[in-house]
Amino acid sequence: METKISIRDKTLIISDKKTTFIGERINPTGKKSMARALANGDLDFVLAEAKSQVEAGADVLDVNVGTPEVDEVKLLPEVVKLVMNEVDVPLCIDSGNPAALEAALKVYEGKPLINSVNGEEKSLEKVLPLVRDFGAAVIALPMDEKGIPQDVSTRMRIADTIVDRCDKFDIPLEDIVFDGLALSLGVDSNAGVTTIETIRQLKEKYGVNITLGASNVSFSLPGRDVINTVYLGIAIAAGATCPIVDVAKVKEGVLAADLILGRDRHALRYIRYWRQRQRMQAN
């Protein structure tokens, strides 16, 4: 299935032909320097982060400014506008606050990805009209007011509800990107199996594009990059097509996964990546 998003006149197609990288680094969670920059209105710091992620290969940038110190309704559209003028990739507008989403959608030029809707009644009621009215695509989290289900069948049941409700709003299936809901393996060592099986079933039942916040899985564990990278390979094999990642850290592993899965003819993309890297090291 193809999900199309855009920035101005530039369209990006998300599909299982190759993995799409959504850059995670414009996000204050767990990052004091970013939280401080956002609280102080130091937006140069945010722009530098936007640029470096695109240079590292991000196809889309997630933009999240949610910290207790900021007014998201005011700041999210401001940051979206600035980032949009700095880079030429579509944005994934990340907020749990529907008013902030709406304010950001008003300034966005193109078709963005909204992050996110979930199965909670108040989320469906507030976010789906925005998806329809702004003609956006949306990330759907298979969770509800009871939180994140620990079992796959409840996640699938919630996914069914979301698909149903999107249909009522005439939001096509290709504009829904499901989230496998990656959780910390340090908290629950079975969380990986549940997420991978959720991804597999979502892919099988709906054929949709699937994201996941890959860095979530290694919170509080040592050797985070290796866990994130191996996890991504398994998730991609199961059906994930557009993970939210620290691109610079996981790109080589994801390109290897795409090669192994027959998504890189003559290994051209993989080889080009390594040539470029060697050239950069030589300089």
The 3-state DSSP class for residue 114 equals strand
Of 213, 239, 243, 253, the one binding ligand THG (CB under 6 A) is: 213
Tokens of 185: 């393996």
User: What does the alpha-carbon distance between residue 58 and residue 49 come to, in Å, rounded to a whole number?
Assistant: 11
Q: In which order are the strands placed within the sheet that holds 60-63?
A: 209-211, 176-179, 137-141, 113-118, 91-94, 60-63, 22-26, 244-245
Stretch that binds ligand THG, among 9-17, 155-163, 186-194, 209-217 (CB under 6 A): 209-217
Q: Write the burial class of residue 69 (CB in 10 Å: 0-12 exposed, 13-18 middle, 19+ buried).
A: exposed
Stretch 78-117 residues interacting with ligand THG (CB under 6 A): 94, 115-116
Question: Looking at 4, 13, 15, 31, which residue binds ligand THG (CB under 6 A)?
Answer: 31
User: Tokens 């992050």 sit at which residue?
Assistant: 115
Residue 244 binding ligand THG, by CB under 6 A: yes
Smallest gap from residue 140 Cβ to ligand THG (A): 9
Q: Rule CB under 6 A: which of 120-159 touch ligand THG?
A: 139
Helix (H, G, I), strand (E, B) or coil at 152: helix
To ligand THG, the closest distance from the beta carbon of 215 in angstroms equals: 3
Sign of CA dihedral 234, 221, 193, 196: negative
- Residue 92: CB minimum distance to ligand THG, A: 8
Report the residue from 216, 232, 240, 264 that binds ligand THG according to the rule CB under 6 A.
216
Stretch that binds ligand THG, among 27-35, 65-73, 78-86, 258-266 (CB under 6 A): 27-35
Please choose, from the candidates 195, 241, 246, the residue with its C-alpha nearest in 3D space to the C-alpha of residue 225: 246
Q: Which residues bind ligand THG (CB under 6 A)?
A: 24, 27, 29-31, 62, 64, 94, 115-116, 139, 179, 182, 211, 213, 215-216, 244
